[in-house]
Structure 1
Amino acid sequence: MSEVDAQIARANEALERARERRSSLSRRAGRRREGTIVRRVGAIVLADGLIIAIALAIGMVTPLGTLGAMIVMGLLIATTLVIAFARTDAAPTPERLAETPLKALPLQTEQWLEGQRLALPVPARTLVDSIGVKLETLSPQLARLDEREPAAAEVRKLVAEQLPELVRSYQQVPEPLRRTERNGATPDAQLVEGLKVIDQEIATMTAQLAQGDLDLLATRGRYLQIRYQGDEGV
């Protein structure tokens, strides 16, 4: 196989991973929507049933009449509309990530990171896909990890603090300066390098959690360190 063929093959593999990633996100988003619909329908049935039960109980004591029937119908319609169109949970933000329960943190971070995707340079988007896959793998392990464990604090620091801070710092750089080199690197390159470090750290944390090496994870002492460079760097 020639070098050109090898590069094409690698590009195709990257595209396939990205497609699988987006497909996975779409499936999970669909399941969340279905779950929301089921919960809303259940709440509507329960609330409307309660209104009808109260109306029947009142009707056994005194006739409701036309006005009473119209009031009951109005209550049923209003209740149904309020529950059906009630605002769902707000989109994840870095501030909300800091307060998210550990077991829900990977999914919330994944959703937030996907929302930043189009604002990042193309090389960084591949890493967004990779981090998303690793977060999905990490999720069931965090569900079994006690929030009070020092290892939990290390995971939270990386995923809920350092990752959002890296992306947010990059986005604060004016767009024309993101490809301007300073001190040997552009903000685009610094972002990509930082995401690589985080990607590797999440993989390492996942492996250590899988092996039960909580003490090792808690004492890693390896943090993402990005030196800010004013308006001209991340």
Structure 2
Amino acid sequence: MTDVNTKVERALARFDRVTRALDERDGASREAAKRERQRLNRDLGKRLARVGVAIGVISVIAIGVGLIIPIGMFGFLAAVGLAIGIAALLAFMPGERTAKAPTADLPNGQMVQRFDSYLYRSRAVLPAPARAEIDAISARLPSLKQSLDRVETLDPKAQDARRLMSIHLPGLIDRYLNVPPEFRRQADGEGLTVDQRLVEGLSAARTALDEISQELARNDLNAFETQGRFIKSRYGEEPIEG
């Protein structure tokens, strides 16, 4: 019986790996991976810029000291060694590899980007139905960011979106991961498993973010239409003077 269970578990694990590989070819997850690579490239650019600044500062200090007190060959080599050491430290300092939820003090646009990264890094450890919901949420984040970038942090709709991205959704995922895997398929009093509760919660969050995004976009559309009507009423009937 144990051998049968082992074979079943191996078959399920292999099936999950295959479906995950196929799933990651979909457009939403591919676009999320592209955005994550862009964020990593920006981080690399910042690291290189810090390396350049550090080397420049050390060079200026070495030249300044050399103008006052001759530093000689040993002093020059010490400055070069210090520059190389600081450059290596800045260049190879480990970056953030684990999923980390956005903090509440981030501006709207940065919070959406951090949340996008959090979803991408959390996706791999979630069951397939939950990954589908994660992809659906990720696909909506670019347009949500564009809308949130133009509103104040204290805007009521922005506050709703910020709470979802920094508190409620990360809390749901983190609590799910805290449940031991062998208990995730046990049904609760309402007949739902932990996996199903996760999908249910992600779906509700996706709907809420959809409504927020649509309302913010509707405000932008109304503002555009108002501006268009104003220009038409102000200039539409008047001849344009040369």
TM-score range, shorter chain: 0.7 to 0.9
RMSD: 2.4
Q: Give the CA deviation at 1:18.
A: 5.4
Q: Paired residue for 1:53, among 57, 60, 74?
A: 60
Contact preservation (8 Å) 1:18, 1:129: no
Asked if structure 2 preserves the Cα contact closer than 8 Å seen for 1:110 and 1:135, the reply is yes
1:130 Cα deviation from its structure 2 partner:
0.4
The CA deviation string for residues 116-148 of structure 1, in whole angstroms up to 9 with x for no partner, is 223322111111100111123211111111012
2:109 paired residue among 103, 128, 135: 103
Equivalences for residues 73-152 of structure 1 within 5 A: 73-89=80-96, 91-94=98-101, 96-152=102-158
The one-letter amino acid of 1:27's match is: K
Alignment partners' CA distance in 1, 2:177 and 2:37: 29
How many pairs does the alignment contain?
Answer: 198
Q: 1:194 aligns with which of 201, 214, 220?
A: 201
* Counterpart contact for 1:18–1:126, Cα < 8 Å: no
Q: Does 1:171 align with 2:177?
A: yes
Q: CA deviation at 1:30?
A: 2.5
Does the C-alpha gap of structure 1 residues 126 and 50 become closer, same or farther in structure 2, counting only changes over 3 Å? Answer: same
User: How far did residue 84 of structure 1 move?
Assistant: 1.3
Please state if 1:181 is matched with 2:187: yes
SS at structure 2 position matched to 1:147: coil
Counterpart residue identity of residue 82, structure 1: L
Residue from 41, 45, 52 that aligns with 1:38? 45
Counterparts of 1:49 and 1:32 in 2: how far apart (Å)? 26
The CA distance in 2 between the partners of 1:36 and 1:26, in whole Å, is 15
8 Å CA contact 2:99, 2:122 repeated in 1: no
Give the distance between the partners of 2:49 and 2:178, measured in 1 at CA: 44
SS in 2 for 1:35: helix
Look up the SS of the partner of 1:168 in the other structure.
Answer: helix
Aligned CA distance change for structure 1 residues 109 and 33 (closer, same or farther; 3 Å): closer
Q: Gaps spanning 5+ residues in structure 1: where?
A: 1-14, 214-234
SS of match in other structure, 2:124: helix
Aligned ranges for residues 58-77 of structure 1 at < 5 Å? 58-77=65-84
Match of 1:154?
160
Tell me the distance in 2 between the aligned counterparts of 1:161 and 1:38.
30
Larger radius of gyration: 2
- Secondary structure of 1:185's counterpart equals coil
Change (3 A) 1:55 1:88: same
Residue 75 of structure 1 and its aligned partner are, at CA, apart by: 1.8
CA contact (8 A) 1:92 1:108 kept: no
Question: How far apart are residue 115 of structure 1 and its match?
Answer: 2.2
Take 2:87 and 2:203, find their aligned partners in 1: how far apart are those partners? 48
Over 3 Å counting, the alpha-carbon distance change for 1:63 and 1:91 in structure 2 is same
The amino acid of 1:142's aligned partner reads: L
Unpaired runs of at least 5, structure 2: 1-21, 221-242
User: How many percent of aligned residue pairs carry the same amino acid?
Assistant: 28
Give the match for residue 14 of structure 2: none
Supply the distance in 2 between the matched residues of 1:211 and 1:85 (Cα, whole angstroms).
45
- Alpha carbons of 1:134 and 1:54: their partners in 2 closer, same or farther (altered >3 Å)? same
